[in-house]
Amino acid sequence: MPTYDYSDHVVLVTGGTSGIGRAVAEAFAEHGASVVIAARDVDRGGSVAQFIDGEVTFVQVDVGKPTQIASLVEQTVATYGGLDVAVNNAAGRTGTGKPTHAFDLEEFDATVDVALRGVWVGMKHQIQQMLSKDESGGTIVNVSSVNGLGGAPGGSIYSACKAGVLSLTKSAAQEYAPQGLRVNALVPGAFDTPMLQTVMQQAADAQGTDVDAVHQQYADRSAVGRIGTPEEAAQAVLWLASGAATYVHGHSMIVDGGTTCAVR
């Protein structure tokens, strides 16, 4: 496993109390970073921050509310003196589990507010902060999904948002590379997270089967025959944010155990 030194870095992770986000926060803290994790659940956020070894602060934030995102960046800078890496990972559980026509307007808006607009608002304030430094520079990693590469039955709104995240990433990467900012995307496949467990339970209910059978269906789709661990996704984020990736701009890093390799 590569060795990284983030001891002089301030890292912000949204959706940092669960799944991939939590694994990312733990990985950066393990390698010396000062980490701010942001999420809605205060109780879980506090316990996660205490559990992680290292310099970690929890900030309660609903990324569906733009003013809270702006305040999050301000609090990060006030606490640790700057912002070097931002990982926009937060996503809600709406926008999946139904055919396209069955979603209502409220579900559409709730999904977009968190999974797409929340990423853009986060980038807006993160970029402004990174550009304001004496020597502008920084790294942003936006978490998309393989569903955003081509869509998914029963997940049209979520997929559309994740496709939008890729376009935001590629556009910003071109705009800010001259100022020393790198913007890339992690495109995860199936990882063993609470969100995926919820999706698998929905699928099991719809199929009239048990969740173990659905779990096996997901595992069988990958070339390696298993679902990934959040820690494996975190390693990809560590690399994207590191000095080993200084020539990587606007990249969609697909980490899916080979699930989509036959069609891309």
The pLDDT tens digits for 138-163 are 999 999 999 999 998 889 999 999 99
Say if residue 216 is in the same domain as residue 117. Answer: no
Domain with 93 in it: 10-189+229-257
pLDDT at 194: 81
Residue 263 lies in a domain: no
With cut-offs at 50, 70 and 90, classify the pLDDT of residue 238.
Answer: very high
Say if residue 244 is in the same domain as residue 163. Answer: yes
Q: What percent of the chain has pLDDT over 70?
A: 100
pLDDT exceeds 80 at position 177: yes
pLDDT exceeds 70 at position 98: yes
Residue 177 lies in a domain: yes
Say if residue 161 is in the same domain as residue 128. Answer: yes
Say if residue 61 is in the same domain as residue 160. Answer: yes
pLDDT at 233: 97
pLDDT at 251: 98
CATH assignment of the domain containing 96:
3.40.50.720
Say if residue 200 is in the same domain as residue 177. Answer: no
**Structural domain tally of the chain?**
2
Residue 3 lies in a domain: no
Say if residue 50 is in the same domain as residue 160. Answer: yes
**Active-site amino acid positions:** 158
Threshold 0.75, pTM exceeds: yes
Q: Look at 202 and 210; give whichever has higher pLDDT.
A: 210
- In the 3-class helix/strand/coil scheme, how is the chain assigned residue by residue? CCCCCCCCCEEEEECCCCHHHHHHHHHHHHCCCEEEEEECCHHHHHHHHHHCCCEEEEEECCCCCHHHHHHHHHHHHHHHCCCCEEEECCCCCCCCCCCHHHCCHHHHHHHHHHHHHHHHHHHHHHHHHHHCCCCCCEEEEEECCCHHHHCCCCCHHHHHHHHHHHHHHHHHHHHHHHHCEEEEEEEECCECCHHHHHHHHHHHHHHCCCHHHHHHHHHHHCCCCCCECHHHHHHHHHHHCCHHHCCCCCCEEEECCCCCHHHC
Residue 262 lies in a domain: no
pLDDT exceeds 80 at position 22: yes
- In the predicted model, what is the mean pLDDT of residues 180-204? 90
Say if residue 216 is in the same domain as residue 164. Answer: no
Say if residue 115 is in the same domain as residue 204. Answer: no
Average pLDDT taken over every residue of the chain: 94
With cut-offs at 50, 70 and 90, classify the pLDDT of residue 39.
Answer: very high
pLDDT at 183: 98
pLDDT exceeds 70 at position 97: yes
Residue 264 lies in a domain: no
Residue 234 lies in a domain: yes
pLDDT at 198: 82
**Using CA atoms, how far apart are residues 62 and 177, in angstroms rounded to an integer?**
29
∠108-111-117 over CA atoms, to 5°? 110
- In the predicted model, what is the mean pLDDT of residues 204-219? 88
- In the predicted model, what is the mean pLDDT of residues 190-202? 85
Say if residue 75 is in the same domain as residue 91. Answer: yes
pLDDT exceeds 80 at position 1: no
**Using CA atoms, how far apart are residues 42 and 103, in angstroms rounded to an integer?**
29
Say if residue 220 is in the same domain as residue 102. Answer: no
Residues 100-112 have pLDDT tens digits of 999 999 999 999 9
pLDDT exceeds 80 at position 2: no
Say if residue 30 is in the same domain as residue 75. Answer: yes
Say if residue 174 is in the same domain as residue 104. Answer: yes
Residue 1 lies in a domain: no
pLDDT exceeds 90 at position 60: yes
Residue 149 lies in a domain: yes
